[in-house]
Amino acid sequence: MSDNRVWSYSAVLMGSPILLKLFSHDEALASRVFSLIKQYEDLFTVNRADSQVMDINHAAGRHPVVVSRPVYELIKCAKAASQLPESAFNLAIGPLVKLWRIGFKGDSVPAADEIAARLRITRPQDVILDDAAASVFLAQPGMEIDLGAIAKGFIADRVRDYLHQQGVSDGLINLGGNVQTLGSPQGGWSIGVKKPFAAADALVGSIEVVNKSVVTSGTYERYFEQDGKLWHHILDPRSGYPLNNELDSVTVISTDSLDGDIWTTLLFGLGVEKGCALLRQRQDIEAIFVSKNREITLSSRRQFRFTPLDASYRLTDCTA
C-alpha cells in the first residue's frame, strides 16, 4: 500500500500487529525483515513448547542449557535490569505471567496463596549465567524466564541494524508498542501517544523524533475486568499482582529500543515522581507519563518534540 512516498508492509508476529514503513517499493526486503523477526520470535517465545528460552525453562531445577549468543546476551541484559535498585523489571516473572494468563484465554484473578507460592520461584538471582559456556541455569524447579517486556525492544534494534546494512536510510518498524525509526523524512518521524481506554486511533499527543526509538507500555492494551477492577499485564514482582499506581502508560524515547523496553517497565514501577528524579540523572533516556488523573508529564524534551492533541489532559513536566 502506498501513501505519498511511503510504502507500508504489515504482518502479525509475536501475537502483535507489525508494521514496516519504507520509502521504496520493496516487497522482497519487507519479507526478509519479517523473516528476521520470525527467527528471533522462534528463539525467544514462551508461547509455544519449543524455543531456546523454553529449553531453559523445561530444565529448571535440573541442569544448565547452552543457548545461542543473542539469547544469552538478552537474558544477561534482562537479569541486570532485574537487579537494579527498586527495579520493577523481573526476567523470572514467568510463573506469575502463566498463572494470570492476562491477554490470553482463561485469564482470571488467581488465589492469593497461589500467587504467594509462585512469587517464591521468581528470584532473578536464581537465574545462573555462565559467560564462557553461554549457558543458563534456573536454580529452582518451576522457574520460568519471560522476555515479553524486553524482546521486542531487542528485535526492533536488530531490524534497524539490518535496514542500515541494506542501505536504507529512512524507515520505521513498529512491533506493536515498540517503534524504532531510521532517519528524518520531512524533518522527523511523528509517532502518536495513544489515549488510554479510548478508541484505537484516539491520541493524547504526538511525538517527533529523528533516529530514535519510541516504546510505550500501558495498562490499556492487555487486561481483563473482574470484581469491578481492571487487571493488566505489567506485574509487580514484589506483590505478584498488576502494578497499581497513578499511571495509565509510560512512553520512553531513547536511541536503542532495548533500553526503551526496559525503561518503560522500570519507570512504570517507580511512578511519576521517582521516575522523574531518576530521569534527571539520565540524559539518554526520556519519557512521557500519562496518568489516570489526565495529566501528561514530560521529561527534558532534548530528544523529542511533543504536540498535545487532547485538551482534557493537563501538560506538566518533570521539573515542575
Residues lying near ligand FAD in the complex (CB under 6 A) are found at: 14-16, 41, 44-45, 47, 88-90, 93, 97, 103, 146-149, 151-152, 177-178, 217, 221-222, 233-235, 237, 261, 264-265
Which grid coordinates are listed for 109? 484473578
- Contacted by 235, from Mg ion, ligand FAD, none: CB < 5 to 8 Å by type: ligand FAD
- The beta-strand segments (E) located in the chain are 2-3, 6-13, 16-22, 65-66, 127-130, 135-138, 171-174, 178-182, 189-194, 203-209, 213-218, 223-226, 229-232, 247-254, 286-291, 295-298, 305-308, 314-317
Q: Is 286 in the site for Mg ion (CB under 5 A)?
A: no
- Contacted by 177, from ligand FAD, Mg ion, none: CB < 5 to 8 Å by type: ligand FAD
- Contacted by 180, from ligand FAD, Mg ion, none: CB < 5 to 8 Å by type: none
Q: Is 51 in the site for Mg ion (CB under 5 A)?
A: no
- Return d(Cα 216, Cα 195) in angstroms, integer: 12
Q: Residue 50, Cβ neighbours under 10 Å: how many?
A: 10
Near Mg ion by CB under 5 A: residue from 261, 286, 296, 298: 261
CB 34 within 8 A of CB 50: no
Contacting residues for 275 by C-beta, under 8 A, at least 6 apart = 250, 266, 267, 287, 289
Amino acid identity, residue 22?
L
Q: Is 219 within any annotated ligand binding site?
A: no
- Contacted by 249, from Mg ion, ligand FAD, none: CB < 5 to 8 Å by type: none
CB of 39 to Mg ion, least distance (A): 21
Q: Is 149 within any annotated ligand binding site?
A: yes
- Which single residue brings its beta carbon nearest to ligand FAD? 15
- Contacted by 254, from Mg ion, ligand FAD, none: CB < 5 to 8 Å by type: none
Residue closer to ligand FAD by CB (options 264, 297) is 264
Q: Is 265 within any annotated ligand binding site?
A: yes
Q: Is 265 in the site for Mg ion (CB under 5 A)?
A: yes
Q: Is 145 in the site for Mg ion (CB under 5 A)?
A: no
- Return d(Cα 87, Cα 194) in angstroms, integer: 25
Residues near Mg ion (CB under 5 A), total: 4
**CB environment 159-182: b (16+ within 10 A), e (fewer):** bbebbeeeebebbbbbbbbbbbbb
Q: Is residue 296 helix, strand or coil?
A: strand
Q: Is 149 in the site for Mg ion (CB under 5 A)?
A: yes
Q: Point out which span in 6-14, 121-129, 147-155, 225-233 binds Mg ion (CB under 5 A).
A: 147-155
- Return d(Cα 285, Cα 271) in angstroms, integer: 15
CB of 122 to ligand FAD, least distance (A): 9
Report which of 80, 86, 60 is spatially closest to residue 124, judged by C-alpha positions: 80
CB of 35 to ligand FAD, least distance (A): 14
Catalog residues that contact Mg ion under the rule CB under 5 A: 149, 261, 264-265
Q: Which residues are annotated as a binding site for Mg(2+)?
A: 149, 261, 265
**Annotated binding residues, as ranges?**
149, 261, 265
